[in-house]
Amino acid sequence: MTRTKTILSCTAWLLACGGDDGGTTAAADSTSMGTASTGSSSGAGEDSSSDGGATSLADGSSSSDGGSSTGEAGALLDDYPLEGDTLFPEGVAFDPARRQFLFGSLGDGAIGSISADGATQSMLVASPGATWSTAGIKVDAAADVLWACTGDDAHSEIWRVALADGTVQAQLDLTAATPGAGCNDLALDGSGRVYVTDPGLGIVHRIDTDDSITAWATDDAFAPGFGGLGLNGIAATPDDAAIVVAYYAPPQLFLVAQDDATVGPVTLDGDAFAGGTALSGADGIVFAPDGTLYVVFYEQLAAVTLDVAAATGTVTTVAVPGIDEGLSTATIAEGRVYAAKSEVQAYALGGAPMLPFRIVHAAL
């Protein structure tokens, strides 16, 4: 949520932390990814500590044994343990050109990567400061850039980062465009426009291809609820007819029509659209290649077969092997769903996370 998902969980009700102030929160004092990156204009580093099976390299990257393999040569692994005790990788994305996973740090705003074979964890953008956090991130493969929600207590920014070298091409000040605004998560449509959820103001902002920012869609149903919880994950439908947004708690899905920004709820049946506990809400969302919408809860995923025209969906609960809690967002990598085990609730509460942080194969 602003306070970049500090938010978010605003701690899942555990903290009852009141409203959002439009910035991003940083709950950790130490850097989460360590040394500064070359080729980055505003960048992130890398934690030299090891969470098991990893060795620090002299160039600032790290070598790791990684997780279990799918058994096919060159295939993605099922489990990517990440180094860094204060990383809290809330957002995750996949860069298909370089076959690497990308992740942001709530701890200090850095953005890092880990190779498909799990052997190298590197920095893409170094931390801009200890008070910064990075939440949702998305890859625009056609433009070869990464979009990221980032900021500090004063303001919230959307960054466009060159995947080739980590150069921050643009730092778009969301708070300057709309006073009090904050970025939680973001999505891209087929035209390259970016959509941003703002839980504190209950707005979906849109960034057009000329980098102009508009408060694009709002509705009474988007108003923040208890603890400032509200709009969270976001994704464009495969046909670009609508934008789907997830509301954290109580968990709900909404459709925003592309042509006129009208908002309507999605009626769900099937399994309960909920996490494993009352504290768990609807977090990140992503469409799989078959059109299934995956919604991340803290302990599990919900697979939603969505009928956009009818605004209905059928829910199937999906357990993630080896994961009991700590999930936040998901991405599609080579046709499969991967989720970030980021321990956001521990971050927001100031508690000790269950290490290591991980990117895990969750479905398909």
Domain of residue 21, residue span: 2-71+82-258
pLDDT in tens, the chain (364 residues): 344 433 443 443 333 332 333 333 333 333 344 333 333 333 333 332 333 333 222 233 444 444 544 434 599 999 999 999 999 999 999 999 999 999 999 999 999 999 999 999 999 999 999 999 999 999 999 999 999 999 998 889 999 999 999 999 999 999 999 999 999 999 999 999 999 999 999 999 999 999 999 999 999 999 998 878 899 999 999 999 999 999 999 999 999 999 999 999 999 999 999 998 888 999 999 999 999 999 999 999 999 999 999 999 999 999 999 999 999 999 999 999 999 999 999 998 899 999 999 999 998 8
283 in a structural domain: no
274 in a structural domain: no
61 in a structural domain: yes
Confidence at residue 78, expressed as pLDDT on a 0 to 100 scale: 98
d(CA 305, CA 91): 23
pLDDT tens-digit readout, 35-86: 333 333 333 333 323 333 332 222 334 444 445 444 345 999 999 999 999 9
93 in a structural domain: yes
364 in a structural domain: no
334 in a structural domain: no
Confidence at residue 6, expressed as pLDDT on a 0 to 100 scale: 37
Confidence at residue 229, expressed as pLDDT on a 0 to 100 scale: 87
357 in a structural domain: no
Instruction: Indicate the pTM of the whole model.
Output: 0.84
d(CA 131, CA 216): 29
Confidence at residue 322, expressed as pLDDT on a 0 to 100 scale: 93
Confidence at residue 2, expressed as pLDDT on a 0 to 100 scale: 42
The residue whose two tokens read 């939440």 is: 135
d(CA 187, CA 35): 29
User: What CATH code is carried by the domain that includes residue 239?
Assistant: 2.130.10
Confidence at residue 228, expressed as pLDDT on a 0 to 100 scale: 82
Beta carbons of 101 and 80 less than 8 angstroms apart: yes
Confidence at residue 39, expressed as pLDDT on a 0 to 100 scale: 34
Q: Provide the number of structural domains found in the chain.
A: 1
156 in a structural domain: yes
The residue whose two tokens read 């190779």 is: 115
**Omega of the bond leading into 356 within 30 degrees of 0 (cis):** yes
